[in-house]
Amino acid sequence: MEEGLYYDLRGQRERRSVICARVAADTLRMANDGTLWKEPSMVDDLRERLWTALIYLEHGSSEASAAANRIIMESSYKFCHFAPMIALQILVRDMALLAPPAKEQLRGYVTNMLPHFLEDDMDYVGVNDNFPSMASFICLLAGQMFNDEAAFRVGSGRLLQFKELLRRRGVSTEFNSPTYTPIHAYALAEIAAWVQDEAVVALALELEERTWIDLLGHYHPQTLQHAGPYSRAYMRDSAGRIHSNRFMLLSLLGARLPDYGADTEWSYEALTTGQRISSAMRMMADFHCPTRLVETLLHKTYPFTFKASFDCSPSSDYGADAEPDLCVQGAYEYPAAEGLIQTYMTDNYALGTSTREFHNGMQTDAFHLLYRRSVPVRKLNDVGTVFSRYVSNTKKIDLSMNILNDEGRKIALQHENTAVVVYKPKAFLQSGIHRLALQLYVTLGDDGAAPDEIFLGEQPVAGEWGESAAPCSIYVKDGPVYIAIHPLRISNLGRKMGVSITRQGGFLAVSLINYEGPARNFGAEELLAVCNGFAVEIGSGEKDGDFASFRERCALSSVSDSLSSSVHSRYRISRTVKFNRGGLELALEYSPFSEGVRYMSVNGKSMDIPTLELSGFMLQ
């Protein structure tokens, strides 16, 4: 690979060497006496064991290599989506350091698992693209290593599927996920590093570059964070709490990735044993990110806009372990779709939306606001986020959660710093329901500090609790950023309050309430016609003057939200939503039952869906 073409390959290898040496020094004693897998932060599973073995072999000392061989021989081998790739990473790198029995153990495991990764389920089918990315590596490397031409053809064919996807779309189906999109880049980088077929290597490099455009295009340097929207988000992602994938960026960028100077949560010293091993694994590849891409996207000129098209396959709320016959019972499903993601960045904030959802939407942040509370950002709590979930009954949020599933379906429309997010509850919320609400979560600051100012309509909220019987606009000032939230039509299924503000587990929860009362049952068709949602306007002191002026201007904005049907549509229901502000109209009409969209428009013109468009960047 050309050192000048790809960013800091030498530095990446040096950083990898350092972290592998540190992990080995910190964990080898525990690995040797058997206590490593009993550490509270460790998972005694095949993936984590092979991660550890690979790190030790990369370090390469005699003690570390002996421990790696012992881990490989003592592990229990079972099906895992990740482990065959790690096994092949070990085999292709460290043949001289592997004892023959360990080598045969890994070869036998890969051989036994390979038939699964040859199946059509592992193709790019419009859902979890990290699986086919890893499966491509597995088929290519196993095919090359075991002289299996059929497996190699499957792997190279999968990369052509990914290329076809990125020819028609700007990003993958599993777009801009802080957890999963990096796996695409990781697998492609390893293919480029170890496959010997020049055409396959060239294709992998092309696809890796496109993935880095997604990742770095959404990096917001002023918050040191990855901006939304996210196809798949865990609580850490939504709440702006960085995780081990930051070490993949650290591997690439080194000192160009600033740290939170006053916050050691993600310094190496503060990591648990499990986090140290996970973080080192994120640094095991040579990433082939073009230097021009790094230089352009680390120095964004504001306002900066990222727009890209995507598509996805149909889905439902059944889990991956559901019986196939059960999954296809009944006609109701979430439709296949094409959509637009966009992110609008200023130096103070990044507002992101997705017109459609990934998969069944339970992890999709189709609306996400990332912003800085202070200038400059020095610690994690200097960064705020706002995101939404539709929730039932007493479900509460907490920063320690892995995930809070969204129990609603949503579509969104955005123009620059303004967005409309249209919600309905999911149809399975039918039995024993005593509360239905859309909740917007605002992360709290230092020591749980609330935003500087909060208004319900014209009334200031004292402390961290407030409510209004009628839905009304909510205004928030947090540091230099101003937020106006205008409720859409909030169907009243029985409630005392339309809006409430409460504190929940590290967040301020703004609830737009559809139902609150005795437990009752709902029918599926009744739920699908329930309306909820909001329009949001983002501002700042720099642009809008003082907070009172911002509130006064936003109070002039208007929303309309109506349901209609007629004989001509055979009495099927359409929902029409409009947001108006001087000089801007956002409008959409769609079917809440089928989720078919009739139109989305900005100032009366159909919303533009470019394949891929970044401010100041030309795709080569």
DSSP output for 245-297 = THHHHHHHHGGGS---TT--TTSGGGS-HHHHHHHHHTTSS----BHHHHHHH
Cβ(516)–Cβ(409) below 8 Å:
no
Confidence check: pLDDT of 244 > 90: no
The 10s digit of each residue's pLDDT in 213-222 is 999 999 999 9
Mean pLDDT along residues 262-291: 86
By residue count, the chain amounts to 620
Residue 243 pLDDT > 80, yes or no?
no
Whole-number pLDDT of residue 570: 87
DSSP 337-378: EEEEEEEEE-SSEEEEEESS-STTSTT-BSEEEEEESSSS--
Exposure letters 356-395 (e unless 16+ CB within 10 A, then b): bbbbbbbbbbbbbbbbbbeeebebbbbbbbbbbbbbbeee
- For residue 141, the number of C-alpha atoms closer than 13 Å in the C-beta half-sphere is 26
Q: Please, are residues 405 and 363 in contact by the beta-carbon 8 Å criterion?
A: yes
Stretch (H or E) spanning 504 = strand 499-504
The larger pLDDT score, comparing residue 327 to residue 469, is at: 469
pLDDT band (50, 70, 90) for residue 325: low
> Can you tell me the mean pLDDT for 213-238?
94
Per-position b or e across 181-200, b if 16+ CB within 10 A of its CB: bbbbbbbbbbbbbbbebeeb
Question: Which DSSP helix (H) or strand (E) runs through 600?
Answer: strand 597-602
Structure tokens at 364: 């999709």
Which single residue is written with the structure tokens 């599926």?
Answer: 524
Is the alpha carbon torsion for 146, 147, 149, 152 positive or negative?
A: positive
Architecture of domain 9-295 in CATH?
Answer: Alpha/alpha barrel (1.50)
Instruction: Give the model's pLDDT for residue 560.
Output: 97
104/72 Cα distance (integer angstroms): 10
Q: CA distances (Å), 494 to each of 273, 290, 423, 467, 515, in order?
A: 50, 57, 18, 16, 5
For residues 496 and 474, what is the distance between their CA atoms, to the nearest angstrom?
18
Q: What is the SS3 assignment for 318?
A: coil
Measured on CA atoms in the order 284, 286, 287, 291, is the torsion positive or negative?
A: positive
**Which helix or strand (DSSP H or E) is residue 392 part of?**
strand 383-392
Nearest 5 degrees, angle CA 55-CA 57-CA 61?
110
The domain ranges of the chain are 9-295, 302-560
pLDDT tens-digit map of 37-77: 999 999 899 999 999 999 999 999 999 999 999 999 999 99
Model confidence band, residue 261 (pLDDT cutoffs 50, 70, 90): low
* Residue scoring higher pLDDT (616 or 410): 410
pLDDT tens sequence across 283-318: 999 999 999 999 999 999 999 999 999 999 998 887
Strand-pairing partners, residue 424, are: 409
Q: Which residues pair with 345 in a beta bridge?
A: 304, 350
- Alpha carbon of 557 to those of 64, 258, 548, 550: distances in Å? 64, 39, 15, 11
- The SS3 assignment for 403 reads coil
Report which DSSP code applies to 483: E
Tens digits of residue pLDDT in 85-136: 999 999 999 778 999 999 999 999 999 999 999 999 999 999 899 999 999 9
